[in-house]
Chain A
Amino acid sequence: MNQLLKEKQIIPIDGKDSCLVERFLGSGGQGEVYRVSIQGKPYALKWYFPKQATSEQKASLEYLIRIGAPNNKFLWPKFLLTNPKNNTFGYIMPLRLPQYKGINDLMRRRVEPTFKALAIAGVHLANSFSKLHANGLCYRDISFGNLFFDPITGDIQICDNDNITTNGDPLVTVLGTPRFTAPEIVRGEAHPSRDTDLFSLAVLLHYMLFVHHPLEGEQEAKIHAFDLPAMTKLYGKNPVYIYDPKNTTNRPVAGIHDNAIAFWKTYPTFIKQLFIRAFTVGLKPNGRIMEIEWRDSMARMYDSLIYCRCGAENFHDATEYETTGKTTVCWSCHKPTILPPRLKIGKNLIMINVDTLIFPFHVDPSISCEFSDPVAKVNQHPQNKSLWGFQNLSKDKWTVISNEGAITEVLPGKNVSLINGIKINFGKTEGVIIV
């Protein structure tokens, strides 16, 4: 139900090209978004409501367009369009592709991504905000309305980038979305900054993994009206993590917060400890988890994935295994999982499943986490089906040292058997196979 532009309306661009309004896509508090085409190519156009079309907003957009996107995950403003008749304006950005779904769809169970896809999405999210913050910018309004992910591949797209400002900009009007804003903003003590973005990022990751808010437990269940005083208390003045090990006053309530209870059991200890830190010491700005730690932890989570015989995805919990010697009990069939072979590279332990791929960042710490151009894949021997190996997909040869000390080379395209104790030198790093 659009009000600002009409379908088939043509908006001139610089007197040369033109932008054809195709259809209304949706609206928010600031304006309306339309699908448009320019020279036959589809784009999205956000047009501001007259009250929101301020000179500050325009200047901010011009700045963002000038500096460009931190990476290709951001649906970044490309250029401005203006209507001189009423002094309103909008901006062109890439169109979100249909396979990208919102966290709302996850909450409503309209999509059920694999743990693998969630881990990849977590890596991309942390990585993208790392790059944004490294550019001296602050997102200000991280929430699940702004993140879309492909439930198959885990790729992400980050929308609503027009409220991004330089870190510490005091002239901000957008303070964030309730539930995602840092406690110090809720209490009225701070403005959005990189520190508060880090809190919102932690909330968003918590939503993605546990399908629940980190501070909504017993205290939330008692709320009669979700008004400002109730929200300020829950998210600002007395925030308590639902799994705070020292403060048990805000545990999730069975029958109300079932997602949190169910998903808490499925994740490995290091992930749970990270979220405990994020929402205990991390309730204060100087205790926040940095983007890189989130990214590395999400990548470690990806590497911890195993499959139960029933087919369900589970996580190997190295901490639990080292302490008790017991493998993860499958969340689906409730039987102990069988530990697959592992590849240990430095401190990292990668589970070797039939579909495991080893990526450049696994074998070269200087390379950023990207899940493309794998350097190795798992192969089954064509004749001896019980024999598995790594196929070298890279352009470099590997050096393999057997348990007896024999050194052989594995050329690109060739395989190395997964035998306990053998070492593979990938060039920058060396890994050992554990079976």
Chain B
Amino acid sequence: MWQIIAESVKSANHPLNQDSKKYFIPKDKEYVVVAIADGHGSKKCFRSNVGSEFAVEVLINIFRQHFSSNTFDNLQAGFSGIKDNLAKTIHRQWMEKVRNHLAKNPFSFEEELIDVKVLNNQVISYGTTLLGALITKNYIIYLQLGDGDILVVKDNEVTRPIPKDENLIANETYSLCDKEADSLFRFYYQPVIGQLPDLILLSTDGYSNSFPNDNEFQKTALDYNNLYKEEGMSFIRKNISGWLKDTTVHGSGDDLTTILVFKTSDNESATKRETDNTN
């Protein structure tokens, strides 16, 4: 039912790629879970590559557990209470991972000298955004904390299930290291009516920031969709790393990560390469 490409390219300006990506499709292909995270690039977030890795791990596991326990199957009373629980669980489990990591890997002497604020609140050094989606045949749940983009293509139209946050200006972003991060998550619960989307694209802000405006960025999603139909998955898979490198070099200069979830055409073998795969 789905085919997935997950790709990430490192900024020339960073010693490490601070973005992370992960996805999971079970053997029975009942659903797909995807997650990307953008570890903050500022000096005080010197462990954000670890923080972003933890973020995608936590989200994938939580969505898998919730799918198994049918949490989202009957939301007659709405999604509001459940989304609060989801946000709290993600935040708390990420914090636990960070604290465990800190206990096993205390700051080095050099790290202690980086910023006194971070020394007093060491979780800051792991700061990251998080975007994800749980895609099933009956519903899709989109989730976002901080910057980044989720685009959906259906019938050659591009939409944003979660609108851009007008409260975030310049490079400001919400982060899992915020004490009240659980209240900053945004969700969209979409029951599937009729056809599933043709493409769901998740990307860190390094992608959209490489374009002069949002319209140009949104066209990328349409381009991917057309390429998938005309050239096939292998063509995109072969070339995407080069395209992303070009995009960031001539654009934002930031780490750039994207996950593309394509609905397979009837004549393609569904999820052939990705089945039962965590990547």
Contacts and interface: CB of A to CB of B under 8 A. Distances in A.
A30 B74 CA distance: 10
A178 B85 contact: yes
A160 B80 CA distance: 13
Interface string B182-215: 0110001111011000000000000000000000
A224 B96 contact: yes
A27 B193 contact: no
A227 B69 contact: yes
B13 to A, nearest CB: 33
Contact of B152 (A1, A4, A144): A1
Interface in B159-194: 159-161, 167, 179-180, 183-184, 188-191, 193-194
Contacts of B152: 1
A27 B190 contact: yes
Interface residues of A, number: 37
Nearest to A104: B183
B193 A4 contact: yes
A107 interface: yes
Interface in A215-232: 223-228, 231
A177 B78 contact: yes
A51 interface: yes
Interface string B53-91: 000000000100100010100011111111011101100
B92 interface: yes
Contacts of B65: 225, 227
B93 A225 contact: yes
Contacts of B69: 227-228
Name which of A4, A174, A177 has the most chain B CB atoms within 10 A of its CB. Answer: A177
A108 B183 contact: yes
Contacts of B184: 108
A320 B93 CA distance: 43
B161 to A, nearest CB: 5
Nearest to A3: B193
Contacts of A224: 89, 92-93, 96
A195 interface: no
Contact of B161 (A1, A107, A145): A1
B121 to A, nearest CB: 10
A231 to B, nearest CB: 7
B85 to A, nearest CB: 4
A49 B191 contact: yes
Given A1-B161, A3-B190, A28 B81 contact: no
Contacts of A4: 193
A179 interface: yes
B198 to A, nearest CB: 14
Interface string A141-153: 1011100000000
A52 interface: yes
A430 B254 CA distance: 72
Contacts of B193: 3-4, 49-50
A193 to B, nearest CB: 16
Given A107-B183, A163-B77, A224-B92, 17 more contacts: A1-B159, A3-B191, A29-B75, A29-B76, A29-B78, A30-B78, A108-B183, A108-B184, A141-B78, A144-B80, A160-B78, A174-B77, A179-B81, A224-B89, A225-B93, A231-B85, A255-B179
29 contacts: A1-B160, A1-B188, A28-B79, A29-B75, A29-B76, A29-B77, A29-B79, A49-B191, A51-B191, A104-B183, A107-B183, A143-B80, A143-B81, A145-B78, A163-B77, A173-B76, A177-B81, A178-B82, A179-B84, A180-B81, A223-B88, A223-B92, A224-B89, A224-B93, A225-B62, A225-B65, A225-B93, A226-B86, A228-B71
